[in-house]
Amino acid sequence: MAKRKTKFVCQECGYESTKWMGKCPGCQNWNSMVEEIEAATNAPKRGFVTSESTSSKPQPITKIENQVEQRYDTHINELNRVLGGGVVPGSLVLVGGDPGIGKSTLLLQVSGEIAKHKKRVLYISGEESLKQTKLRADRLNITYDELFVLAETDVEHIDKMIQQIQPILVVIDSIQTVYLDHVTSAPGSVSQVRECTAAFMRIAKTTGIAIFIVGHVTKQGAIAGPRLLEHMVDSVLYFEGERHHTYRILRAVKNRFGSTNEIGIFEMKEVGLEEVLNPSEIFLEERSSGAAGSAVVASLEGTRTVLVEIQALISPTSFGNPRRMATGIDHNRISLLMAVLEKRVGMLLQNQDAYIKVAGGVKLDEPSIDLAIVVAIASSFRDAPTPPTDVIIGEVGLTGEVRRVSRIEQRVIEAAKLGFKRVIVPEKSVGGWTPPAGIDVVGVNTVNEALEVTLGGMSSGSSPRFEL
Do the Cβ atoms of 21 and 8 come closer than 8 Å?
yes
Q: How far apart are CA 381 and CA 402, in angstroms?
A: 20
Find out whether 101 is annotated in a ligand binding site: yes
**What are the pLDDT tens digits along the chain (468 aa)?**
456 678 888 877 778 888 899 998 888 888 888 888 775 544 444 444 443 444 568 889 888 887 777 899 999 999 999 999 999 999 999 999 888 888 999 999 999 999 999 999 999 999 999 999 999 999 999 999 999 999 999 999 999 999 999 999 999 998 999 999 988 888 888 888 889 999 999 999 999 999 999 988 766 666 766 667 888 899 999 988 766 678 888 989 899 988 887 889 898 888 899 998 888 887 887 788 788 999 999 998 877 889 999 999 999 998 888 999 999 999 999 999 999 999 999 999 989 999 999 987 788 889 999 999 999 999 999 999 999 999 999 999 999 999 999 989 999 999 998 899 999 999 999 888 888 988 999 999 999 999 999 997 433 333 333 343
Find out whether 187 is annotated in a ligand binding site: no
User: Crossing angle, helix 447-454 and helix 370-382, to 10 degrees?
Assistant: 60
Find out whether 215 is annotated in a ligand binding site: no
Find out whether 102 is annotated in a ligand binding site: yes
Find out whether 265 is annotated in a ligand binding site: no
Q: Which fold has domain 282-466?
A: Ribosomal Protein S5; domain 2 (3.30.230)
Can you tell me whether residue 12 is helix, strand or coil?
A: coil
Find out whether 159 is annotated in a ligand binding site: no
Find out whether 302 is annotated in a ligand binding site: no
Q: How far apart are CA 255 and CA 247, in angstroms?
A: 23
Q: Which residues pair with 377 in a beta bridge?
A: none
Query: Among residues 300, 350, 309, 303, which one has the least CA distance to residue 328?
Result: 309
Can you tell me whether residue 51 is helix, strand or coil?
A: helix
Q: Give phi and psi for 303, each to the nearest 5.
A: -100, 5
Find out whether 394 is annotated in a ligand binding site: no
Q: Which residues pair with 446 in a beta bridge?
A: 401
Do the Cβ atoms of 92 and 200 come closer than 8 Å?
yes
Q: How far apart are CA 116 and CA 147, in angstroms?
A: 8
Q: Which CATH number fits domain 72-277: 3.40.50.620, 3.40.50.300, 3.30.360.10, 1.20.810.10?
A: 3.40.50.300
Q: Give phi and psi for 210, each to the nearest 5.
A: -75, 135
Residue ranges of domains in the chain? 6-37, 72-277, 282-466
Query: Among residues 437, 423, 429, which one has the least CA distance to residue 468?
Result: 437
For residue 213, what is the enclosing H or E element?
strand 210-215
Query: Among residues 169, 78, 165, 79, which one has the least CA distance to residue 117?
Result: 169
